[in-house]
Amino acid sequence: MKRTGSTAQFNMVRLIVEEYTLHYNICENYEQLKEGMINIVKRHKFDKRILNCADQVFTSERDLDEIMKSYERFYGKPMTIEQMEDMTEHESKWLKCGGYFYSHFDQLKYNPMKEIADLLRILEPMVRNYLVYLEFIKIKPPKTGQDQKTLLFYNHITAEE
């Protein structure tokens, strides 16, 4: 596998969402979130604002020595103690938040079909619910008479907008 666990997991999530809709946004921080879209955020540093609006958090873990080797391959220099402490602090914050889906790097690398099946169990109903919601909020009363599909009348008002 020529990618990190988090990137592999991110791409699995992205591909599952793409199976159902192209109505999504890829971003790395809170400021890039788009209302009315499925936002797929790839982020390592903990951000409480993202946590507070997330429907689901996906996280992965890898043995520390493997993380350090991967870091050195990517950046061409060893990870400092401070960087390692910072990384583990942020990972710990994500894990403490609850409501997350956790994967180990070994499953991502050696059993990606199991990982995809596990992700599908979570994502499929969430994405389908969202798509039904998007269609539901588009329903409007007809200009005249009654719409035979929605059964709404032109003057069918149940609440103030």
What is the rounded CA–CA span in Å between residue 50 and residue 57? Answer: 9
Please give the DSSP secondary-structure letter assigned to residue 146: B
C-alpha torsion sign, points 111, 114, 117, 121: negative
Domain layout of the chain by residue ranges: 5-136
Q: What is the pLDDT of residues 10-29, one digit of tens each?
A: 999 999 999 888 889 999 99
What does the pLDDT read at residue 1?
45
pTM over 0.75: yes
Distances in whole angstroms, Cα of residue 105 to Cα of each of 5, 10, 68, 76, 94: 5, 13, 14, 22, 16
Residue 152 has pLDDT above 50, yes or no: yes
